[in-house]
């Protein structure tokens, strides 16, 4: 089990209720498992902010893992560990 801090903004922050929340991630302790846990905890309101209903997969967005940048589409199996800080850099379109 890895306890990580998740930081979010805008509509995702609204669903999580706070800019930073702490989440316990079960094995295999990956980025993908973190988002599965977020869905279990926050349910459909979270899922519809993250999952693309047309593709049935997570939408593309960037994830800041400590000081490095990874992506929801390319790095879903990326390992995370206790104490990691993760920011959901999403959505970043428009403007």
The contacts of residue 11 (CB under 8 Å, 6+ apart) are: 49
CB of 16 to another protein, least distance (A): 13
Asked if 72 touches another protein (CB under 8 A), the answer is: yes
Answer yes or no: are the C-beta atoms of 89 and 7 closer than 8 Å. Answer: no
CB of 70 to another protein, least distance (A): 8
Asked if 87 touches another protein (CB under 8 A), the answer is: yes
Q: Segment 38-67, which members bind another protein (CB under 8 A)?
A: 48-54, 59-64, 67
CA distance 25 to 40: 11
């Amino acid at each position: 089990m890895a306890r990580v801090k998740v930081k979010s903004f805008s509509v995702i922050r609204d669903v999580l209720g706070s800019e930073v929340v702490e989440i316990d991630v079960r094995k295999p302790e990956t980025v993908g498992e973190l988002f599965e846990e977020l869905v279990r905890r926050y349910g459909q309101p979270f899922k519809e902010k993250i999952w693309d209903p047309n593709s049935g997969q997570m939408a593309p967005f960037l994830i800041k893992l400590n000081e490095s940048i990874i992506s929801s589409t390319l790095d879903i199996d990326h390992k995370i560990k206790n104490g990691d800080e993760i920011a959901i850099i999403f959505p970043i379109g428009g403007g």
